A = this chain, B = another copy of it.
Amino acid sequence: MCNGRWSGLLHVRDLVANDRGAVAEALTLSLAFSEDEVRVALDMFDGGMNGDYALVGVEDEGSLRGYACFGKAVLSRSSWYLYWICVHPASQGRGYGRAIEAAVEESVRAAGGERLVLETSGRTDYERSRRFYDGAGFTLVGQIPDFFKPGDDCLIYCKVLA
């Protein structure tokens, strides 16, 4: 788990109710999400605590650095949605996002999942996120013009898990 970017104490784990504050802080400070998005993401964190979604996070030096929320697509045999993935802005660029994404894949595969699907924004300020998904092996499979608001398309990505 130590590759020079991390402290060597990096630890991927399921989230617990007590992580809510750190998740809220990461979502809010990242500036990638609107107030509405933060609210929905925290609602889904609460849903995750009730078993509606899966939640994993990465901890380093005792602090939660980021997390992901994901879940099976109910009417599919083996497709899962990656709903949220967020790294605290003070910890970005250090590979935590990759570690979280890899943990999601591992968890999905262990549950028999064969693909991950996610939706993100086509706005220019999401270019870094899209590069992250491209780099992680996701393929663009759809684009809904102006879905979020005028000029803000919904991009749909899919990754087939090995």
Copies, count? 2
Q: Given the known A-B contacts A40-B75, A75-B37, A75-B40, are A144 and B142 also in contact in the complex, defined by CB atoms under 8 Å?
A: yes
If A76-B154, A117-B147, A141-B145 are given as contacts, then 10 extra A-B residue pairs at C-beta distance below 8 Å, sorted by A number, are A40-B74, A73-B147, A76-B148, A79-B146, A79-B148, A114-B146, A115-B144, A115-B146, A145-B158, A146-B160
24 A–B pairs (Cβ distance < 8 Å), ordered by A: A36-B74, A36-B75, A37-B75, A40-B75, A76-B147, A76-B148, A76-B149, A76-B154, A77-B148, A77-B150, A79-B147, A79-B148, A79-B154, A114-B146, A115-B146, A115-B147, A117-B144, A117-B147, A141-B143, A142-B142, A145-B158, A145-B160, A147-B158, A156-B156
